[in-house]
Amino acid sequence: MAWHSHGATNAGLVEALAKNAVVRSPLVRGAMAAVDRGHFVRGGSDPYYDAPSAIGFGATISAPHMHAHCLELLQDKLTPGARVLDVGSGTGIMLAYFAAACSLAAASAAAPAATAAEPRFAVAGIEHVDELTQWSKVNLAKDPATKALLASGDISVVTGDGRLGLPDKAPFDVIHVGAASPSRPDALIAQLATGGRLIAPVGTDSQSLTAFDKGADGSVTVTELMGVQYVPLTSLDLQHAPRTFLA
C-alpha cells in the first residue's frame, strides 16, 4: 500500500501515508505536514506522487513512504535537544523533517519554567556534491521557518565525504544515511551518542534498511528491517554512473 500513498497536495500526501499506516505517530505526521515536499523536487516531477525522482548528479530524492518509514524509526530520538546528522542530505528535505520534528517535540514538552538556556536541537547535513549542498540551502530557504533555522545555525549543511561523518560535531543522537553503505558503516557508528540510533541501507546488490542502536556500555545492537534499493554511498567520482533506483 505504501507505493499508493499519492496526494494532489502535501496535505493529501501526508493523509494518504497515514491512511496506509506508513505514518503512525503524531510527531511524524506533524513534521511531514509542516514541510512542503514541493520545495525539494526538480521541475517536471510531481512532488506528491509516492515515488523517487532524479535530482541530478546520479542521485534521487527518495519516495515519500521511505522518508516516512525512516522518520517513524527515529521519532523517539527526535527530542528537543537532539543532535542529528543526515548523510547524503541531497535536496535537504530530511533536514527540514528532522528540524520540524524536534521543534514539535520541544513545543509539546514546553513547561512554564522553560528557558532559552535549555539545549536546542542541531540538525546537520553532509553532501559530497557541492551543487546539491547549495541547492538544498535554496530549498530550505523557501519556507520562513527553515530559513530562520539555517540563519541561526540550528540547521547546517556542508560539502564533504559523508562516509566519514562529521566528527567535529559528534556525538549524534540520530544519524540517517540516505544512500546504501556497502558494509557496516563503522565510522558513522563511532559518532553515535550513547542511546543513539543510526538508520542506513546496507549492502550492494542486495540491500537491507538497518538500525544500529548504541547501548550505555558502548555495545551496538544491529537490526535488519526490510529490503530496499538505494543509490550507493560512494566516492564523488563514482557518483555519476547511470543506474536505476527505487528508494
Q: Which residue in this structure is represented by grid cell 559528534?
A: 170
Chunked mean pLDDT (size 10), the chain, 247 residues: 82 97 98 98 93 92 96 97 97 98 89 53 96 97 97 97 97 97 97 98 94 97 94 74 44
Question: What is the residue type of 42?
Answer: R
pLDDT value at position 4?
A: 81
pLDDT value at position 133?
A: 97
Q: How far apart are CA 26 and CA 124, in angstroms?
A: 23
Q: How far does Cα 164 stand from its chain's mean position?
A: 17
Q: Enter the C-alpha cell of residue 184.
A: 557496516
Q: Enter the C-alpha cell of residue 242.
A: 547511470
pLDDT value at position 1?
A: 45
Q: How far apart are CA 188 and CA 198, in angstroms?
A: 8
CA distances for 17 relative to 44, 63, 96, 166, angstroms = 22, 11, 18, 32
Q: Annotated catalytic, 62? A: yes
pLDDT value at position 73?
A: 98
pLDDT value at position 67?
A: 97
Considering 5, 62, 89, 181, which one is annotated as catalytic?
62
CA atoms within 13 A on the CB side of 93: 25
E strands within the chain? 53-56, 59-61, 83-87, 122-127, 155-159, 172-177, 192-203, 207-214, 220-228
**Domain boundaries in the chain?**
72-238
* CATH number for region 72-238: 3.40.50.150
